Structure formats: structure tokens, C-alpha cells
Amino acid sequence: MAGTLKLWWHDGSTLDARSHPTPLINEPERGFESHTVGTTPVSTGSAPSDCYVAVVETTVPIRYRILTPGQSGSAADPEAKPLTATGFAVATIGIVPGAVLSVMEVV
């Protein structure tokens, strides 16, 4: 059964303008994407140039693979990592600017 992946790109900053710690959720997002995730790998757009964190919400368990610029592959590869369904919670994935996330549903 296909599910939904919501992804917010963030810069990973943990301090505000006055150098006080700030929760990631209060950070301004750099971009947002939503994808339908099934048994065929799908890829996100490239991470913006100032992003180091992908905040992910998924309704189904997935496998994901981070593909840096110039790298080929997909979530179907053995190197892909699992991520359980988060429901309304979120998970964070460290990422490099310009990278793409390839994701697919775990069946």
C-alpha cells in the first residue's frame, strides 16, 4: 500500500540570532516536498545549497539512500537504510547540500 513522504529541508542551525539554543522545529525551512512512496524508488529534488538536515514524516516504513551530486543508485540498493513509519512525528536525516534522497516503501 503506497504512503506519503513529507520532507522539509533545513540548514541544521541550532542557535538563533542571539546565540540561544533553538529547537529545530522553530527553524525556518528552506524548502518542502511531498511524494507518494510505493515499491518503486522515487527521488526528491536536490537539497538546497544551505541545507544539512532533511526532516522527514512518512506514513509507511521506507528505505532511503542519500545520493550526493554525481552519484548513481536508488533506495533499492543494498546500501539503503531503513526508517520506520513516523506517523505525525518526524525523523531527521543528515544530508549534504545538493544531495538527493531516494526512497521506497518497505514491503
Q: What are the tens digits of pLDDT across the range 13-31?
A: 666 677 776 666 556 678 8
Cβ pair 56, 75 in contact under 8 A: no
If one counts the domains in the chain, the total is: 1
Domain encompassing residue 63: 3-105
Cβ pair 44, 99 in contact under 8 A: no
- Encode pLDDT of 90-107 as tens digits: 898 989 999 999 999 998
Mean pLDDT to the nearest integer, 57-69: 96
Confidence of residue 66 (pLDDT cuts 50, 70, 90): very high
- Output the furthest CA–CA distance in the chain (Å, rounded): 46
DSSP 15: B
Q: What are the two backbone dihedrals, phi and then psi, of residue 38, each rounded to the nearest 5 degrees?
A: -135, -155
Q: What is the pLDDT of residue 52?
A: 86
